[in-house]
Amino acid sequence: MGCGASKKATQDVHLTQEKYKFQLKIIKPDKTVVEFKHETDYEELPLTVIMNFLLFNHIHGPIFNANFISKYNQDLKRFQYFIQQLVGIPMENEDHPYQGKQWVCYINDSRIEWDQICEQESCVKSTDNVKFCFESSN
């Protein structure tokens, strides 16, 4: 006996992996909307990962035109993270980010700053409504 070839007929099994489409909307100061889509095998991803995919994508990268910075906050004794530029539009006051307009995220209409997204490693699902708006922090 042992491990031998079976005489039973075999049946081919074809598995298909479902693709999930993430969509980000960037609301520019003139209220025009720029949309970006990212397709993946994962239903949920950290938002920072999706942003990096778009930033380094050869098709989306030039339009996405983003940059991220960190600034040390003496009061909090830690670095804080900001979107320095998105779709080519820079934050208003890089030296004092909370004294000017900056890029702020909304996930399902809940406001969340980029620093919180990075610190909490916030994940989004493909069904989430994700948008970025250029506005004052207060």
- Measure the CA–CA gap between 88 and 70, rounded to whole angstroms: 18
| For residues 28-47, average pLDDT | 95
Residue 1: per-residue pLDDT: 44
**Residue 15 forms part of a structural domain:** no
pLDDT at 9 over 70: no
pTM: 0.83
For residue 11, what is the DSSP state? -
CATH number at residue 36: 2.170.130.30
- Measure the CA–CA gap between 126 and 138, rounded to whole angstroms: 29
Number of domains comprising the chain: 1
Q: What is the pLDDT of residues 78-121, one digit of tens each?
A: 999 999 999 999 999 999 999 999 999 999 999 999 999 999 99
Residue 8: per-residue pLDDT: 54
**Residue 7 forms part of a structural domain:** no
pLDDT band at 14 (very low <50, low <70, confident <90, very high): low
**Residue 9 forms part of a structural domain:** no
Q: Residue 64: give the domain boundaries.
A: 20-136
**Residue 70 forms part of a structural domain:** yes
